[in-house]
Structure 1
Amino acid sequence: MSVIKKVAVFGAAGNFGTPITAALVTAGFQVTIITRIESDSTFPDGIPVIRTEYTVEKLTTALTGQDAAVSVIGPGGLHVQVALIDAAEAAGIKRFIVDDFGWGPNFNSLPEFREIGTQRRAAYDHAKKLSQTNPNFTYTGVTIGNPIDWAIKRFPLMGFDVKQRSAVIYDDGTVEFTGTTLEGIAQAIVGVLKHPDETANRHVKARSIQVSQNKLLDALQRASGQSWEVKRGATSDLLESGREKHQSGVSGWVLELLVYQLFGPGGRCIVASKEDSDADLLEIKEESPDDIARKVLGSIAN
């Protein structure tokens, strides 16, 4: 495959889209942001922005001349991703990075997430189908596991209230999971586009760390220089509460069941070992619990 230089980004102002866009610019790619006409998002100065209707025809025009497209549109926009893929293929895009950024297509998720999983799978199944009929069109999915530094700061239910210096440790706190920092997620996209042949038509496995709650708590206490208030919780309570909310149509079930999957029995939330991941290919550095703690506490201070 020829070198990828020009990259279009959908969702450039989002939680993942912002660092991804910045990393692409820093890495020397020629970035164009594509967004809806009615979007009120703001974008960095100096990056071209195309505002367009999200129809295949209009999107094809917007994507013409680009080498690659990165979809970071978030859960609320997943229903338009097939149209993005069709437009990318019609415009002659060489690589489409599918908006997945989760646990990957083969993850043993709880049945309550089946509908969400089906929606995600529809996009990468469609991209796979087009890649099989058009060898000039390729795709990549990026499996990240838990977006760890972002998630710890944003969701106290994950066990850490950073501002209050308190923690809830679920069960015995020893279940390990893998995570990728925002920096690692951004680097994963750069790595995919720098190594198009090795990453074509598959899901790559990104990771910054494999860790447990207990290890994170120790690191956060060291980084903050103080002991945290620690309470105990049970993942079985999260499972019961999340399922009750799901059955009753009450919001909040998604996060409770996600945290159950993360810390529950069996250690299901490991994307890959360091050796079996694509971290080296993508040039993602392995981080320690202390690295994560410093990033989280530093982001709160700022």
Structure 2
Amino acid sequence: MSAIKKVVIFGAAGNFGTPITAALVKAGFDVTIITRINSSSKFPDGIPVIRTEYTVEKLTAALVGQDAAVSVIGPAGISVQVALIDAAEAAGVKRFILDEFGWGPGFLSLPEFHDIGAQRRVAWDRAKDISQANPKFTWTGISIGNPIDWALKRFPTMGFDLKQRSALIYDEGSETFTGTTLEGIGQAVVGVLKRPEETANRFVRVRSIQVSQNQLLEAFQRVTGQPWEVKRSSTKDLLESGRKKHQEGAGGWILDLLVYQLYAPGEARCVLASKEDSDAQLLEIIEENADDIAQIVIRSA
């Protein structure tokens, strides 16, 4: 496959789209943003923006001449991803990066997430089918595990209240999980596009850290230079709360069950890959430690 130079990104102003766009520009790619006509999102100066209707015909016209397309449209846009894929193939795009910045296929998620997973697999299957019929079209999914610095800042349910300097430790706090920082997510996309042959038509598994709640608490205390108040809870409570909310049709169930999956003791459910078995080295993602994460989170909070 020839080198990838011209890259389109969908969802450039989102939580993951922003660092991915910045990483692509920094790496020297010729970046273009595609967004809906009525979008009110703000984009960085100096990057061309194409506003269009999200139909296959209109999107195909917008994608002509591009080498790759990166989809970061978020959960609300998953239903249109098949149209993006069809348009990319019709326009002659060589690589399509799926909007799957999560745990990827094969993850042992709770039954409550099966419908969400089925929606995502529609796009995975479409990309796979097209690549088999048209070898000039390729795809990549990027599994990042927990988006750790972003999630710690945004969701106190993960157990860390940055303003109050307090921690809620679930069970023993020793269950480890893998995560990738926003910077690492951006680098993962750059790495995929720089190594199109090695990353074609598969999911890559990336990580910048494997860590536990206890290790994060110790790191936050070192970085802030003060002891944090520590409270205790149980992942069983999260499981019960999430399932009750789900059954009642109430909001908040997704976060409760996601955090349960992260910390449930003895499961190792959320260890995406070991350092040796991941694609982090291939994609030039730097391995980080708990202090690195604490510094990033405190500095940006």
The TM tier, using the shorter chain, reads over 0.9
Is 2:279 aligned against 1:272? no
Q: Distance in 2 between matches of 1:142 and 1:163?
A: 32
What RMSD, in angstroms, separates the aligned Cα atoms of the two structures? 0.4
- Give 4+ residue runs of structure 1 displaced > 4 Å after superposition: none
What is the DSSP-based 3-state SS (H/G/I as helix, E as strand, rest coil) of the residue aligned with 1:65?
coil
Instruction: Kindly indicate whether residue 195 of structure 2 is the aligned counterpart of residue 165 of structure 1.
Output: no
Residue type at the aligned position of 1:258: L
| Deviation of 1:164 (Å) | 1.1
1:220 is paired with a residue of what secondary structure? helix
CA distance in 2: counterparts of 1:90 and 1:106, whole angstroms: 30
Which residues of structure 2 form unaligned runs of 5+? none
1:44 and 2:44 are equivalent in the alignment: yes
Rounded Cα–Cα distance in structure 2 between residues aligned with 1:30 and 1:219: 39
Q: Deviations over 1:120-142 (max 9, x none)?
A: 11111110000000000000000
Match of 2:297 in 1: 296
Corresponding residue number in structure 2 for 1:191: 191
The Cα shift of 1:56 comes to: 0.3
Q: Distance in 2 between matches of 1:106 and 1:15?
A: 25
Q: Which residue of 2 aligns with 1:34?
A: 34
Report matched runs for 1:1-302 at 5 Å: 1-265=1-265, 266-300=267-301
Look up the equivalent residue of 2:77 and give its one-letter code.
G
Distance in 2 (CA, whole Å) between partners of 1:45 and 1:3 is 26
CA–CA distance in structure 1, aligned partners of residues 287 and 165 of structure 2: 26
The amino acid that maps onto 2:298 is: L
The gaps in structure 1 that reach 5 residues or longer are: none
The C-alpha deviation readout for 1:141-198, integer Å capped at 9, x for no partner, is 0000000000000000000011111110000000000000000000000000000000
SS in 1 for 2:187: helix
Please state how far the C-alpha of 1:267 moved relative to its aligned partner. Answer: 1.6
**CA–CA distance in structure 2, aligned partners of residues 108 and 156 of structure 1:** 24
Deviation at 1:31, TM superposition (A): 0.2
> SS of the counterpart of 1:3?
coil
Q: Say which SS state the counterpart of residue 33 (structure 1) adopts.
A: strand
Give the distance between the partners of 2:179 and 2:163, measured in 1 at CA.
21
TM-score by length of 1: 0.99
- Measured after TM superposition, the shift of residue 106 of structure 1 is 0.6
Q: Secondary structure at the match of 2:23?
A: helix
Whole-angstrom CA distance in 1 between matches of 2:252 and 2:71: 26
Q: Which whole-Å CA distance do the structure 2 matches of 1:137 and 1:167 have between them?
A: 47
Cα displacement (A) at 1:237? 0.4
Q: Which amino acid aligns with 2:183?
A: E
For 2:258 and 2:50, the matched residues in 1 are separated by 35
> Percent identity, aligned pairs only?
75
Deviation string 1:181-234 (CA, Å, 9 cap, x unpaired) is 000000000000000000000000010000000000000000000000100010
Describe the superposition over 1:86-139 as per-residue Cα deviations: whole angstroms up to 9, x where unpaired. Answer: 000000000000001001111000000011100111111110000000000000
Return the letter of the residue paired with 2:295: R
| TM-score normalised to structure 2 length | 0.99
Which residue identity lines up with residue 210 of structure 2 in the other structure?
Q
Secondary structure in 1 matching 2:282: helix
SS at match of 1:221: helix
